[in-house]
Amino acid sequence: MLKIILSRTGKKKQAYFKILVTQKEKDPWGTYLENLGNYNPRSKALEINADRVKYWISQGAEPSATVWNMLVTKGIVEGKKTKVTKISKKRATKIAEKTKKDKEEAAAKEPKPEEPKAE
């Protein structure tokens, strides 16, 4: 299975990424089928060969979530952006418990409306 991925290069604390087509099982710093472009996150410069990206997607290559979002932003492919970050189940339950607790505390602090007295 083919994958379109980012492969980090550059110096320490000066990241620079190559956009590569490679086998899913292969090392991202090893051999690859084709270099489609590059991305500099410091200047947000994205240079990419749109024709080759479309060709590889038509051949069955799947872009990673980050690459997919870049392609959607650039207008090379149509579709919605995907969520890149993943929250573990343990962390999700902690967040849900905290929000529930915060809501309960906020409800307890709210003053209850007084009922008018009948004369």
Q: Reading across the β-sheet that carries 62-63, which strands appear in turn?
A: 45-48, 34-40, 14-23, 2-11, 62-63
Average pLDDT, stretch 4-12? Answer: 92
Evaluate whether residue 111 is within a structural domain: no
Tokens found for residue 112: 């209850």
Do 50 and 32 form a contact (C-beta atoms < 8 A)? no
Q: Is the pLDDT of residue 117 over 70?
A: no
- State which residues form the domain around 75: 1-105
Evaluate whether residue 119 is within a structural domain: no
Evaluate whether residue 57 is within a structural domain: yes
Evaluate whether residue 112 is within a structural domain: no
Evaluate whether residue 118 is within a structural domain: no
Evaluate whether residue 52 is within a structural domain: yes
For residue range 9-45, list pLDDT tens digits in order: 999 999 999 999 999 888 878 889 999 999 999 999 9
Q: Which helix (H) or strand (E) holds 116?
A: none
Amino acid at 87: I
Evaluate whether residue 85 is within a structural domain: yes
Check: pTM over 0.85? Answer yes or no: no
Number of domains in the chain: 1
The pLDDT assigned to 119 comes to 61
The pLDDT assigned to 61 comes to 92
For residue range 49-103, list pLDDT tens digits in order: 999 999 999 999 999 999 999 999 999 999 898 888 888 999 999 999 999 888 8
Amino acid at 92: A
